Structure 1
Amino acid sequence: MATPSGALDAVTIELGASSQIGLTVVLMVIMFAVALALKVEHFRFLRTEPKRFWVGVGAQLIGLPLLTLGLAFLLQPPPSVALGMIVVACCPGGNVSNLLTHVAKGETALSVSLTATSSVAAAIATPVSIVFWSGLYPPTSTLLRDIQLDTLPFVVQLILILAVPLAAGMAVAEKAPRIASRIRPWLIGFGLAVIAALILNGVITYWDVVIGVGLQVVPVVILHNALAFGLGAGLALAAGLPGPAARAITFETGIQNAGLGLLILLSQFDGLGGAAVVTSFWSIWHLFAGAMLAGAIRFFLARRALKLSPGK
Structure 2
Amino acid sequence: MGAEALNNINLDMGGPWEAVLAVMLALMMFAVALGLKPAQFSFFKTDPKHYLAGVVAQIIGLPLLTLGLVYLLNPLPSLALGMILVACCPGGNISNIMSMFGRANTALSVSMTATSSLAAAFITPVSILFWLSLYPPTRELLTVINFDVIAFLLQTLFILALPIVLGMIVTRKAPLLAAKIKKPLAIGAVAMMTLMVIIGFYKYRELIPLTATLVIPLVVIHNACALALGYLSGLLTRADVPTRRALTFEVGIQNSALGFVILVTQLNGLGGAAVLVGMWGLWHLVGGWTMVGAFRFADKKQAIKKRRRIDV
Give the partner amino acid of 2:288.
Answer: G
**2:91 is aligned with 1:78:** no
Task: Please list, as runs of the form range in 1=range in 2, the aligned pairs for 1:177-192 lying within 5 A after superposition.
Answer: 177-192=175-190
Shift of 1:189: 2.4
2:254 aligned residue (253, 256, 262):
256
Provide the residue aligned with 1:308 in structure 2: 306
Provide the residue aligned with 1:92 in structure 2: 90
Task: Please list, as runs of the form range in 1=range in 2, the aligned pairs for 1:213-292 lying within 5 A after superposition.
Answer: 213-292=211-290
Q: TM-score, normalised by structure 1?
A: 0.94
The answer as to whether partners of 1:7 and 1:209 remain within 8 angstroms in 2 is no
Q: TM-score, normalised by structure 2?
A: 0.94
Of 33-42 and 245-254, more deviation after overlay is shown by 33-42
Of 116-125 and 280-289, more deviation after overlay is shown by 280-289
Shift of 1:176: 3.7
Shift of 1:295: 2.1
Provide the residue aligned with 1:27 in structure 2: 25
Q: Distance in 1 between matches of 2:43 and 2:161?
A: 23
Give the partner amino acid of 2:160.
Answer: L
Give the partner amino acid of 1:156.
Answer: L
Q: Distance in 2 between matches of 1:254 and 1:65?
A: 12
Give the partner amino acid of 1:124.
Answer: F
User: Once the two structures are superposed, what CA deviation does each residue of 1:175-200 show, in whole Å capped at 9, x if it has no partner?
Assistant: 44443344333223223323332332
Provide the residue aligned with 2:49 in structure 1: 51
User: % of aligned pairs identical?
Assistant: 46
Q: Distance in 1 between matches of 2:173 and 2:109?
A: 24
RMSD: 1.7
2:296 aligned residue (291, 298, 301):
298
Per the alignment, in what secondary structure is the counterpart of residue 207 of structure 1? Answer: coil
The answer as to whether partners of 1:4 and 1:213 remain within 8 angstroms in 2 is no
The answer as to whether partners of 1:258 and 1:279 remain within 8 angstroms in 2 is yes
Return closer, same or farther for 1:311/1:171 CA change in 2, 3 Å cut-off: farther
User: Once the two structures are superposed, what CA deviation does each residue of 1:24-61 show, in whole Å capped at 9, x if it has no partner?
Assistant: 11110111122222111111111221111110001100
Give the partner amino acid of 1:167.
Answer: V
Provide the residue aligned with 1:127 in structure 2: 125
Per the alignment, in what secondary structure is the counterpart of residue 274 of structure 1? Answer: helix
Task: List gaps (5 residues or longer) in structure 1.
Answer: none
2:169 aligned residue (160, 168, 171):
171
Provide the residue aligned with 2:149 in structure 1: 151
Q: Distance in 2 between matches of 1:181 and 1:223?
A: 40
Q: Distance in 2 between matches of 1:258 and 1:179?
A: 29
Give the partner amino acid of 1:110.
Answer: L
The answer as to whether partners of 2:82 and 2:272 remain within 8 angstroms in 1 is yes
Q: Distance in 1 between matches of 2:96 and 2:280?
A: 18
Provide the residue aligned with 2:206 in structure 1: 208
Shift of 1:15: 3.8
Q: Distance in 1 between matches of 2:273 and 2:189?
A: 20
**Aligned length in residues:** 310
Provide the residue aligned with 2:110 in structure 1: 112
Give the partner amino acid of 1:311.
Answer: D
Shift of 1:85: 0.8
Per the alignment, in what secondary structure is the counterpart of residue 150 of structure 2? Answer: helix
Per the alignment, in what secondary structure is the counterpart of residue 296 of structure 2? Answer: helix
Task: List gaps (5 residues or longer) in structure 2.
Answer: none
The answer as to whether partners of 2:24 and 2:193 remain within 8 angstroms in 1 is no
Provide the residue aligned with 2:101 in structure 1: 103
Per the alignment, in what secondary structure is the counterpart of residue 6 of structure 1? Answer: helix
Shift of 1:229: 0.2
Shift of 1:284: 1.6
Give the partner amino acid of 1:267.
Answer: T
Return closer, same or farther for 1:49/1:57 CA change in 2, 3 Å cut-off: same
The answer as to whether partners of 2:11 and 2:204 remain within 8 angstroms in 1 is no
User: Once the two structures are superposed, what CA deviation does each residue of 1:212-236 show, in whole Å capped at 9, x if it has no partner?
Assistant: 1111101111111111000010121
